[in-house]
Amino acid sequence: MKFLRFGPIGEEKPGIIDQDGVMRDLSAHVDDIAGANLSEDSLSALGQIDPTTLPKVPENSRIGACVGDIGKVICIGLNYSDHAAESGMAVPPEPVIFFKATSAVCGPYDNIEIPRGSNETDWEVELAVIIGKHTKYVDEADAMDHVAGYAIMNDVSEREFQQRRSGQWVKGKSCDTFGPLGPWLVTKDEIADPQNLGMRLSVNGHQYQNGSTATMVYKVPFLISYLSQFMSLQPGDVISTGTPPGVGMGQDPKVYLKPGDVVELSIDGLGDQRQNVEAG
């Protein structure tokens, strides 16, 4: 199943994609794609509804982030060995964890805003894992039972803020619009192997990233188990699992986003995103 949220910012309604790829309005059956509605039982019940009985989503509706009321966005740094190499950093002996402010999350086709004072705004296509139920001290063998589904995230990053402004990476990761998420929450039953998904990102038609989740250092079940040793994970929490090589920082010379650029990205089975870049 593929779920989505549509409508103006702050007024998003829940939806589902029917077998013909048509967006259908679920708001008569559920208030949001969020919280307790992300449990396996709840999503399965929604999937039993005949989508042809649901109204179509109005044409030209804005598509919002595919999950509402996100408690936290947990990101994993340097989780692809070839990306670590292009960043001039070693693969860490344990996952690098940092947070992205939930206020950075936006729709998959919303504009990316270059923050004031930025000269190094960069892109990162990433597989996002959406947690479906309370998770604490979970074993790796049971970790996938806690997944609601998957989505695309563009982990937009300001490299100067991140690396040369002291302190944690969060400063370079949390500007408004730095977390396009969606277009869909794809339930885990539709993704046979989350570790075998092609990932691509282009800017102005030039492909910079062309990788696969197969080259992750720390795989999805391990990450869920690992994180749950340090914090409880709640329904709707998002884990963004790292990016393959090809970011702007890794180019020679370096390439960063500027107003007027167009970013397009996709992951196998999870749809695509497109963002216009503008001055913030």
Tell me which residue range forms the domain holding 150.
Answer: 73-279
- Tell me which amino acid residue 58 is: P
CA dist., res. 22 & res. 136, Å (int): 37
Alpha helices in the chain (DSSP H): 40-47, 81-86, 159-163, 170-173, 220-228
77 with 32, same domain: the answer is no
- Cα 233 to Cα 239: distance, rounded to the nearest angstrom: 10
Q: Domain check: are 152 and 211 in the same one?
A: yes
Q: pTM value?
A: 0.96
Q: Quick one: pLDDT at residue 107?
A: 98
Please indicate, yes or no, if residue 102 is contained in any of the structural domains: yes
Q: Are residues 23 and 124 in the same domain?
A: no
Tens-place pLDDT, residues 96-128:
999 999 999 999 999 999 999 999 999 999 999
What pLDDT is recorded for position 168? 83
Which parts of the chain have pLDDT scores under 70?
Answer: none
Q: What is the distance between the alpha carbons of residues 112 and 62, in angstroms, rounded to a whole number?
A: 15
Residues 96, 40: one domain? no
Domain of residue 173, CATH code: 3.90.850.10
Q: How many independent structural domains does the chain possess? A: 2
Q: DSSP string spanning 230-275?
A: TS-B-TT-EEE----S--GGGSSS-----TT-EEEEEETTTEEEEE
How many Å separate Cα 189 from the centre of its chain? 18
Structure tokens at 102: 């939930």
Domain membership of residue 148 (yes or no) is yes
Name the one residue in this structure whose structure tokens are 């270059």: 114
* pLDDT for res 82: 76
Q: Are residues 30 and 92 in the same domain?
A: no
Neighbours of 142 (CB within 10 A): 12
**What is the largest distance, in Å, between two alpha-carbon atoms of the chain?**
54
Give residue 91's pLDDT.
82
Q: Is residue 247 part of a domain?
A: yes
In this structure, are 163 and 250 located in the same domain? yes
